[in-house]
Structure 1
C-alpha cells in the first residue's frame, strides 16, 4: 500500500498547483498526485486557448475576480522564474453593433471596478491598432497574455517530485474510503492511503465528491468547445487577442481569435452540449455520461432557460457557415476554407438542481478531504491562487512538524 500525507486526485494545472505549493510550503510533507491518464494536463488544462486572463468580466469582489487578478501576476512570475514562454500581447473586446456597445460600456465599468488597466477605443482607434478587425468600438485590456499551461503543469509536477513527492499515472480511481484515521483511494492497480485527500478531478470532481459522501445538488454538465486554426498566412492577422462582447447571461465568452504561444492563430470556442465528459468530437458518446446529464432535472431547467442560444450553438457546430459568420462580424477577411481542424476541449460546467449555471468557485469538505466542486474558467489563469486557497482551508488540519 502506498502511504502519503496528502493525496491529490488530478494532474491538471489545479491539482499540480496544489501539490507544488504544498511541497514548497511543507518540505517534509509526502505528497502523492494520482492521475488516470499517462501524462499530465490531458483534459481542460491542455485543451484551452492558453490565455492568461485579466478578469474583465467577473463580479467585483468574487473569488473568480480575485483569483483571476492574482493569478495573472502569479502565472507570469512562475513563467519568469522557470524560463517558460509567455507574452502579454493584450486583448481587444470588440463591439460590432449598438446593443454590443451598450454591453461594452458596462464591461468597461466592471473592468475599472476590478482595477484593471483598460481603455475604451473608438472605431478609428480600433482600426489603427488592428487594421484587419472591424467594429464600432472596443475595450483594450493591457494585462491579458498567452502562455503554455501544459508546460507550467509539467514544471510544477517536476518540482513536486524533486521535493520528494510522487506522481502516479494511469491510476483511475475506482473507490474512495474515509474514516477517523485516514483516507484510502483504490484504483484498478493499487491502494493509496493518506491523512488527507484533495479532489481536483475536474470533469469528474462531482462523482468523487459523491463517493466521499458530500451532499450537494451541483452536477457537472460537459460542454464541448470547438476550435479551428487559421492557415499560417494569417499568423500576423492580429497583434492582440480579439474577443466579441459576451452575452452576460452565459458563462462562455464567445468565438474569439487567439494568438497562440507557438505563433499560430486559432478561432473559437463555441459551446455545445457534449454527450460524454471527455467528448472531444461530435461522435463521442458515453451512455453513462449522457444518461447522467439527461436525467438531471437541473439540465432540463437550464435547457429551457437557454433554448434559443443552445439551438444556435448546435446549429453553428453542425454547419460551419454559421460558425464563420460569428468570426466575420469582426474579422471579415476570413473565409470558410480558412477554418482548419484543431483539437476541441470540454468544459466542466457546474449546474445546480434549479438549473442555474454556477459561475464562481465552489469547495466542499469532509473531515479528511477537500473537493474542488467547481473551478470555472479561467481556472488555468487562477490555478496558483486556487491552490493557495485550498491549502489555507487545510492548514489547520495538516499534521506536519
Structure 2
C-alpha cells in the first residue's frame, strides 16, 4: 500500500494532527508510527495535566495563537467525548516587590492575548482563593484548568481509527529516503511508501528530521527533566487549586508551583534539570552517547555558559529535598520537608539552536516531502488540536 501521509510519533501532537487530517480529508490514507507499545508514553503522559490559558506567550506567536484557539477546541472535544476536566483557575503570585512589574507585564500580555477575565487581586482576595499562600501581589486566571492528557490522546487515537486512520505501535523509524514522487519510511518492522512524512517525534524530532535532510538540522533537542513531589494527603488542604510564581522572563521554565490533579492529589514542582538521556525520567538514567551529543552541541555550550548559576541551583534542588522545600516555601511558608513525598517526572524536549537560543516558540520546518515539528513544548498539549489543524493545513496544500 502507498500511504498519502505517514506521521511519526504517537504523542498528543502527532495523534491530533492525524485526526485533523482525516476529519478534513477522510479519503486520504493516513498512517501513524509510534515506537512504544502505547500512545502518549513520553511528554504527553508525563506532564502536569494543566489546561493553559495562553497567558505567558508573546502576542501573535505560534504559541499564543495556537494555545488560545486550541484551548477552546480542547474543551469542546472533552465535553463531546466525556473526558473529565475542571476549570478551577489559578493564581500567579509575586513573592517579592521587585516581581510586581513582571506581574504587571504578564497581566498586560494576557490582555493582549484576549484573556479579558484575568484580574489583579488584593492580598485579601488572594488569601480567600488560597488561604495559605504568601505574597505581595497576585493575579487570578480563571481560564486555567486540569485534565488527563493521556486520556485525551487515547481518545484522539480512538477517533482516528474510527475514521480508518492506521496506528502502528511498537515500530521505531530508523530511516527515511526521499524519492521523486514517494518517500520510503523504514522502521524496525518494515518499510512504507508514502507521499508525505510528518515528523512529530517529540524528544527525537531532531533525530528523525536528520534522517530526511542532506544538510545538518540547525537545532538540537536538549532534554530537561522536571521532577515533582506530591503533598501527603493530610497536607493537601494547603493547596485548593493551582498556585504559580511570577516566571523569570529570561528562562523558558515557569518555576516550581503547586497543581491540583484531576485524578486527585497535589503536585509540587517541577524543577528543570538537564536530563542525561532523552527519556531519562530518573536522576541516574544516563545514555552516554546522547549526553555527549548534548555537551558537544555549540548551542548548549552557550546556554550552559549563560545559565550555569541557574542550572546549578536547579541541580542542587534535584538532590536536596530541603532546597526544593525552601523554594516551595516562598509560595506557601507552611510547607515542610516531611509534607513532600516523591512524585513523578517528565522530560521536556527543548529545542536549542546553534547560537545558544532556547527556542521559545513552536518551530515547524517543511520541504516538499517532509514537515518537521521541531519544537512543541508546553503548551503543546492544550494546543494540540490547533497545532494539528495548523500542520494539517500545511500538509493538505500538497493534495
Give the TM bin, normalised by the shorter chain: over 0.9
Equivalent residue, structure 2, for 1:122: 122
Looking at structure 2, the residues matched to 189 and 393 of structure 1 have their Cα atoms a distance apart, in angstroms, of 29
Looking at structure 1, the residues matched to 347 and 98 of structure 2 have their Cα atoms a distance apart, in angstroms, of 29
Q: Secondary structure at the match of 2:218?
A: coil
Unaligned runs of 5+ in 1: none
Q: Secondary structure at the match of 2:268?
A: strand
Q: Does 1:136 align with 2:119?
A: no
Q: Secondary structure at the match of 2:238?
A: coil
Between 1:336-345 and 1:195-204, the stretch displaced more is 336-345
Q: Secondary structure at the match of 1:175?
A: strand
Q: Secondary structure at the match of 1:344?
A: strand
Runs of 4+ in 1 over 2 A off after TM superposition: 233-240
Shift of 1:115: 1.3
Looking at structure 1, the residues matched to 236 and 212 of structure 2 have their Cα atoms a distance apart, in angstroms, of 48
Q: Does 1:283 align with 2:271?
A: no
Preserved CA contact (<8 Å) 1:258 1:267: yes
Equivalent residue, structure 2, for 1:180: 180
Shift of 1:248: 0.3
Give aligned pairs, total: 397
Preserved CA contact (<8 Å) 1:89 1:239: no
Q: Secondary structure at the match of 2:344?
A: coil
Looking at structure 1, the residues matched to 58 and 372 of structure 2 have their Cα atoms a distance apart, in angstroms, of 23
Equivalent residue, structure 2, for 1:43: 42
Preserved CA contact (<8 Å) 1:235 1:263: no
Looking at structure 2, the residues matched to 162 and 234 of structure 1 have their Cα atoms a distance apart, in angstroms, of 44
Between 1:122-131 and 1:79-88, the stretch displaced more is 122-131
Equivalent residue, structure 2, for 1:153: 153
Shift of 1:234: 3.2
Looking at structure 2, the residues matched to 353 and 157 of structure 1 have their Cα atoms a distance apart, in angstroms, of 35
Q: Secondary structure at the match of 1:343?
A: strand
Shift of 1:215: 4.7
Looking at structure 2, the residues matched to 234 and 338 of structure 1 have their Cα atoms a distance apart, in angstroms, of 7
**Alpha-carbon displacement from aligned partner over 1:23-61 (angstroms, at most 9, x marks no partner):** 111111111110000000000001000001001111111
Preserved CA contact (<8 Å) 1:122 1:136: no
**TM-score normalized by structure 2?**
0.97
Looking at structure 2, the residues matched to 262 and 132 of structure 1 have their Cα atoms a distance apart, in angstroms, of 22
Shift of 1:376: 2.4
**TM-score normalized by structure 1?**
0.97
**Alpha-carbon displacement from aligned partner over 1:357-388 (angstroms, at most 9, x marks no partner):** 10001111122110001112111111111011
Shift of 1:294: 0.8
